[in-house]
Amino acid sequence: MRLNASVLLQASFLLLINQNGVQGQRLAVQKCAEYAKIITKTQALIPLTINPKPITYKIYNCTNVVQLIVGGEQAKFGEFPHHALIGYPREDNANEYDFRCGGSLISDRHILTAAHCFSNDDPKVVRLGEYDTTFESEDEVQFGIAAVRKHPNYLNQRSYNDIGLIKLDRQVWFTKNIRPACLWDSEYRNMSSYIATGFGYKETVGIELSTTMMKVQLDEFPVNDCEQAFLGDRRFKNGIHGGQMCVGSIVGGKDTCQGDSGGPLQTVTTPKTCIYHIVGITSVGGACGIGQSKAVYTKVSYYLDWIEDNVWGANKL
């Protein structure tokens, strides 16, 4: 049986749609548009004229981004609805948890984080909607962990390919204060400043983690700066990898610190929409907030094929 060219072309087109959704758009971009609808409402105004035509406009039901963690400031409640806390059983009480890593909600079942967050200890829970760890709020929801997956090329003794995924034990129901972030999908970045968030140490000499979510604005530096900062560090035997970013501050006292591992480095392209794009994942820091501190972040766009394949694709976790 021979198929004509038009039938073959149509079949190829349908196959492309099934694999990639909208033709020419990768999955991460489609999902971003889908998530934006969660907080978007279309309303209409009726002009006071003869035979009026309704004027439609969009409103966004979210906590507005405040333009601009060591040297940082307290975030607003609901400002970062994708931020996740990753919990590990305490040694003295397995029913209570230390939240030593952070992450980002990127689907209704998946958290994006750093691979080193489950290299030595096994996390047991993920908490979403958390803002103040000293206060139990009806907005926060705790999930069990069904599975974790590290990037296949990650090695414990190195800091390359420091990216991983957590699958939650049940579906996340999205709300104003719990919803996914988008993923930055291009190697090109038209900005040089980002926002890091977390519950890490607020002071240079860390004793206790912050009980409320903190945010700090950080700047991107040439990778050579981090190669000098981490010169001789065995974790960077081959220098800074193409899948890494050098980020920090020229002003002392601004940094992400221990306890923020795996947390998001993000940007917001249109503030009124409250839509964040995850650009990086907190991986390795240097001296905590001392002087011109710099840290290495995993570059999300470099690993986007792996993320899409393991979250929505054939190798779905």
118 vs 113: CA distance, rounded Å: 10
Tokens of 98: 């230390």
Q: Are strands 83-89 and 40-45 parallel, antiparallel or unpaired?
A: unpaired
Please pick, among 107, 151, 159, 162, the residue that the annotation labels catalytic. 162
Please pick, among 104, 159, 210, 261, the residue that the annotation labels catalytic. 261
Q: Residue 151: CB partners within 8 Å, gap ≥ 6?
A: 115, 161, 162, 163, 164, 303, 306
Please pick, among 116, 151, 159, 260, the residue that the annotation labels catalytic. 116
Tokens of 311: 């979250």
Counting Cα atoms < 13 Å in the Cβ hemisphere of 95 gives 0
CB 178 within 8 A of CB 105: yes
Give the residue among 33, 12, 303, 267 at the shortest CA–CA distance from 160. Answer: 303
For the question of residue 162 being annotated catalytic, the response is yes
317 vs 311: CA distance, rounded Å: 6
Reported residue count of the chain is: 317
Residues labelled catalytic: 116, 162, 261
